[in-house]
Chains A and B, each alone.
Chain A
Amino acid sequence: MVRVIRTSLYAAALGALALPAIAQDTPTLTVYTYDAFAADWGPGPALKEGFEAQCGCTLDFVSAEDSISALRRVQLEAETTRADIVLGLDTATIGEGMATGLFVEHGLDLPAFDIPLDWTDEVFVPFDYGYFAFVYDTETLATPPASFEDLIALPDDFKVVIQDPRSSTPGLGLILWIKALYGDGASDIWQGLAPHVLTVTSGWSESYDLFLSGEADMVLSYTTSPAYHVIAEDEDRYQAAKFTQGHYTQIEVAGILAASPDQELAREFLAYLVSPQAQAVIPETNWMYPVTEPEGGLNPGFDAMIDPQPALLLDAEAVTANTRAWIDEAFAALQ
């Protein structure tokens, strides 16, 4: 029996060896990204089709579990990496990216971005953005809290479900959101939140599933989450709770690796990524706001989203330097 398995493994390996021999003559651009971006339901397939139609090249998305893992993979592969671009780091993880010293300035003349701050970064190019928010069900909650203080003042059986900042983007977002608003008082807010936290899940999916099954009154997610339900399911019962003091911003970015042999092609892709054509793909596959006016305009389903102003954002260097301490602070208060 062992021999049978070995033979089939060899067969599988040999079969796979035959694949990459194809398309040697056209250049290949390899983009490392997070799984949801590259997968069937994400923006990946449409972007691949769109870019390949104009570049005369092959665009390869290689996905890791999340964007940090994609970055770690490049670090591990060091000089032998196939990656030209890492796509999907965000405002909370840009600092980690810079610290690796693996990226180069894009040198592009970028369009004016329609994002909530002046973008001056010479290395990373933003391709979508959104805001963290608590999402609730209007059929079970008439008036949602309008601030963290409101939320804390609710009875203890009012439950929210949040995510682990060490493994989830929104989870980290909440740490930064509370830090941006309360600074040294963040610990008090976390202590106040503690009785309301139903649980802290490792990923966003687990939280959102608990919320949809009615286990929690609110879930930590994005202001744009309701757009999915409106546009894809024609369902308007889910809304984001507007916090009057503002919502924390997440801007997702892509950057070119110094090791990329074809910098020109990499630049071409980044320019494409912020073009009206590519920006038209992103909102309804990644459920985030486009950074420039998309071709054909933004789906009106997004109009019903709350206005998250004032948009909050902490300095990237401060975030990188203090993230661990802030997570410890939050956990200490939650326990």
Chain B
Amino acid sequence: MTAGSLLAWRPGRLLTGIAIALAIAVLIVSLLATLWIAGQRFPTTGSNVADIGHLVRMSAIQAGISTVLSIATGIAIAWTIDRLRFPGRALVIGLLSTALVLPALVVVSGLVGIWGRNGWANAVLGLFGQSTGGSIFGLGGIIAAHVILNGAFAGRIFIDRLAAIPPEKLKLGRSLGLSAGRRFAVIDAPALASSIPGLAATIFLLCFTSFPIVLTLGGGPANQTLEVAIYQSVRLDFDLGAAVKLALVQLLVCAAIIIPATTLSPAATLFGRRTQIVWPERRAVSLMQAGLLALLLIGFIAPLAVVLMRGLGPAMGSLLSQPAFWRATGTSLAIGTLSALLALALALGLAMARAMMAGNRPARAALGLPVFTYLAVPAVVLSLGFFLLARFLGIPTAMAAPVVLVIANALLALPFVFAALAPPLEALLNRHARLIRALGLSSLTQWRRIEWPLLGQPLGYALAVAFVFSLGDLGVISLFGTSEFSTLPWMMYRAFGAYRTNDAEAIAAVLLILSVTAFVGIPKLFEKLTHA
């Protein structure tokens, strides 16, 4: 008997999950279809995108390497931080996934500030007459950037999984005197396993489609992604049909990654209360972990420190006195909050339905697929699709803009929210399945008595990710007519575009502070709420 069949049968939950999955599928299909239909109306010179096979291969290799390294890095981070206790630990954890959600321009700027030829690393090495030698631009730079962004995110998710290992397991392991290696293999690895496929799929998609980072750090047209080609057929050639075709190619490639990931993902089993047990490693291992921690701080936190230091200059004062800044902040916060709640609701709906399907692989795939689909569609195609769809539905574009932004951001954040939420939810349900059955709890009581109180930490983190994602993203409404409507990232790009680098850097620092506050504050808040 599989664990899934022990779960109480909840048709309401299943139907909600199916409805969400269908709604997302319908949305994506309509977006592509409107674009395709519109494409038939325009004469086109024909987009001739050279060598799609080559582009796909290049992107896939880059994304594959980035994904493997990110997951490995994430495990190393989680392994280190799980074992060590040091002042500022909560802040370091809060900072970990911040880079992922900041606008690419900010991230690249921070990275280059450390590793560029004029960066801190060379400044420090220069004191000893050395230099970093290599350049951050090129395939190496792209992969480094992706690993720093996604490795930290993976690490953040893994830390939670390790923290949720039931204390009795740890006590038993300690009394058996497991070595560091055995301990990882026997206790840690099973706790991490259920999160890896979903995370890997998310990270692969992110690296596969990553457009600004690849372009900026790419060092030239040799390193390109399919997404850039799609951008060209839309913008320059206005060949919408070709754009849809390329988008479908990208979707297919991504599906080849997503379907196995969602189907094969093992059902999560380990879930316990946040444990206070500290079981430090032997001295040699601890020293190694301290070394890793130092590397981590340099690699992951220093670029953010650069962003902060550049931003906290005199420009900050004048920025804070601009009404436009406060309007943009208000809009960003409102959109962030709405999209975060929507993303959380969608992820919960899908995850609850999926948890009931433990033994049923096709059903798991069907409920997991919509989570990632949106990420696999190029932003420029989504942007045009939404624009045409709004017109088709007769909604004036300026009015549709905020609604589209909320929906788009929620869907964009969905894989990340899902990665944070689905494995713990599933583990929790499996652990308490017998109890729920025996007590004959209703769906609502199950939520109020079991899921809500025990999921505080992941819920809080999931909400924080979704919230900050929406603060940082702006890609999708470029056609919507937005001079009156501004968000913080938008204002930042405008400032950069108007030579106002100081203003832009100050806004970047504000975005960073908001993100860290959300990442530290929202999970804390949820822990309080759920334990009340």
Query: Which A residues lie at the B interface, using CB under 8 A?
Result: 1-2, 4-5, 8-9, 12-13, 16-17, 20, 32, 35-36, 38-42, 44, 61-65, 68-69, 72-73, 75-78, 80, 164, 166-167, 194, 197-206, 208-210, 212-215, 225, 228-229, 232, 287, 323-324, 328, 331, 334-335
* A16-B399, A324-B236 known; A73+B387 contact, CB < 8 A: yes
Check if A44 sits within 8 Å of B483, measured CB to CB.
Answer: yes
Distance in angstroms between the alpha carbons of A109 and B238 in the assembled complex: 34
- B242 part of interface (Cβ distance < 8 Å): no
Q: Which of B108-136 touch A at CB < 8 Å?
A: 108-109, 112-113, 116-118, 135
Check if A13 sits within 8 Å of B391, measured CB to CB.
Answer: no
Check if A63 sits within 8 Å of B483, measured CB to CB.
Answer: yes
Check if B403 sits within 8 Å of A65, measured CB to CB.
Answer: no
Check if B495 sits within 8 Å of A41, measured CB to CB.
Answer: yes
Check if A209 sits within 8 Å of B501, measured CB to CB.
Answer: yes
* A8-B338, A16-B398 known; A205+B215 contact, CB < 8 A: no
* A62-B483, A64-B481, A69-B235 known; A36+B116 contact, CB < 8 A: no
- B5 part of interface (Cβ distance < 8 Å): no
* A199-B137, A206-B108, A215-B112 known; A17+B399 contact, CB < 8 A: yes
Check if B219 sits within 8 Å of A9, measured CB to CB.
Answer: no
The number of chain B residues touching the other chain, given as a range, is: 35 or more
Distance in angstroms between the alpha carbons of A77 and B390 in the assembled complex: 11
Choose from A35, A76, A200 the contact partner of B483 (Cβ within 8 Å): A35
Q: Which of B402-440 touch A at CB < 8 Å?
A: 402-403, 406
Q: Which residues of A lie under 8 Å from residue B384 when comparing CB positions?
A: 76
Check if A39 sits within 8 Å of B222, measured CB to CB.
Answer: no
What are 9 A-B interface contacts by the 8 Å CB criterion?
A1-B345, A9-B406, A17-B399, A75-B238, A197-B219, A205-B497, A209-B504, A324-B236, A324-B237
* A1-B341, A166-B235 known; A212+B501 contact, CB < 8 A: yes
Choose from A64, A72, A203, A228 the contact partner of B238 (Cβ within 8 Å): A72
Q: Which residues of B lie under 8 Å from residue A1 when comparing CB positions?
A: 341, 344-345
Q: Which residues of B lie under 8 Å from residue A42 when comparing CB positions?
A: 498
Check if A76 sits within 8 Å of B220, measured CB to CB.
Answer: no
Check if B494 sits within 8 Å of A213, measured CB to CB.
Answer: no
Check if B105 sits within 8 Å of A206, measured CB to CB.
Answer: yes
- B42 part of interface (Cβ distance < 8 Å): yes
* A4-B341, A68-B235, A69-B478 known; A40+B494 contact, CB < 8 A: yes
* A16-B398, A17-B399, A335-B222 known; A209+B496 contact, CB < 8 A: yes
Distance in angstroms between the alpha carbons of A61 and B500 in the assembled complex: 22
**Distance (whole angstroms) from the CB of B204 to the closest CB of chain A:** 22
Q: Which of B329-357 touch A at CB < 8 Å?
A: 338, 341-342, 344-345
Given contacts A9-B403, A13-B403, 6 further A-B contacts (CB under 8 A): A17-B399, A62-B398, A76-B479, A200-B221, A225-B499, A324-B45
Check if A65 sits within 8 Å of B479, measured CB to CB.
Answer: yes
Choose from A194, A214, A328, A335 the contact partner of B118 (Cβ within 8 Å): A214
Q: Which residues of B lie under 8 Å from residue A202 when comparing CB positions?
A: 211-212, 215-216, 228
Distance in angstroms between the alpha carbons of A315 and B58 in the assembled complex: 37
Check if B483 sits within 8 Å of A199, measured CB to CB.
Answer: no
A-B contact count (CB 8 A): 168
Check if B113 sits within 8 Å of A213, measured CB to CB.
Answer: yes
Q: Which of B172-214 touch A at CB < 8 Å?
A: 211-212
Check if B479 sits within 8 Å of A167, measured CB to CB.
Answer: no
Query: Which B residues lie at the A interface, using CB under 8 A?
Result: 38, 41-42, 45, 48, 50, 105, 108-109, 112-113, 116-118, 135, 137, 211-212, 215-222, 228, 231-232, 234-238, 324, 338, 341-342, 344-345, 384, 387-388, 391, 395-396, 398-399, 402-403, 406, 478-479, 481-483, 486, 493-501, 504
Distance in angstroms between the alpha carbons of A213 and B307 in the assembled complex: 12
Q: Which residues of A lie under 8 Å from residue B478 when comparing CB positions?
A: 64-65, 69
* A41-B500, A42-B498, A72-B238 known; A209+B109 contact, CB < 8 A: yes
Closest to B135 in A: A198
Q: Which residues of A lie under 8 Å from residue B228 when comparing CB positions?
A: 164, 166, 202
Choose from A12, A40, A68, A229 the contact partner of B324 (Cβ within 8 Å): A40
Choose from B45, B112, B402, B483 the contact partner of A38 (Cβ within 8 Å): B483
The residue in B50, B212, B482 that gathers the most chain A C-beta atoms within 10 A of its C-beta is B482
Check if A335 sits within 8 Å of B344, measured CB to CB.
Answer: no
Closest to B323 in A: A40
Check if A76 sits within 8 Å of B38, measured CB to CB.
Answer: yes
Q: Which residues of B lie under 8 Å from residue A65 when comparing CB positions?
A: 478-479
Check if A200 sits within 8 Å of B494, measured CB to CB.
Answer: no
Which 3 residue pairs of A and B lie closest in terms of their CB atoms, listed nearest first? A214-B118, A65-B478, A205-B496
Check if B117 sits within 8 Å of A214, measured CB to CB.
Answer: yes
Q: Which residues of A lie under 8 Å from residue B499 when comparing CB positions?
A: 208, 225, 228-229, 232, 287
Check if B235 sits within 8 Å of A167, measured CB to CB.
Answer: yes
Check if B498 sits within 8 Å of A197, measured CB to CB.
Answer: no
Distance in angstroms between the alpha carbons of A69 and B383 in the assembled complex: 11
Check if A12 sits within 8 Å of B500, measured CB to CB.
Answer: no
The residue in B212, B497, B504 that gathers the most chain A C-beta atoms within 10 A of its C-beta is B497
Closest to A72 in B: B238
Distance in angstroms between the alpha carbons of A189 and B137 in the assembled complex: 22
Q: Which residues of B lie under 8 Å from residue A209 when comparing CB positions?
A: 105, 109, 496, 501, 504
Q: Which residues of A lie under 8 Å from residue B211 when comparing CB positions?
A: 202
**Distance (whole angstroms) from the CB of A28 to the closest CB of chain B:** 13
* A39-B498, A205-B493 known; A5+B341 contact, CB < 8 A: yes
Q: Which residues of B lie under 8 Å from residue A229 when comparing CB positions?
A: 499
Q: Which residues of A lie under 8 Å from residue B108 when comparing CB positions?
A: 206
**Distance (whole angstroms) from the CB of A299 to the closest CB of chain B:** 15
Check if B48 sits within 8 Å of A208, measured CB to CB.
Answer: no
Distance in angstroms between the alpha carbons of A17 and B253 in the assembled complex: 41
* A12-B402, A13-B403, A62-B481 known; A334+B221 contact, CB < 8 A: yes
Closest to A2 in B: B345
* A167-B235, A209-B109 known; A199+B217 contact, CB < 8 A: yes
* A17-B399, A20-B396 known; A5+B342 contact, CB < 8 A: yes
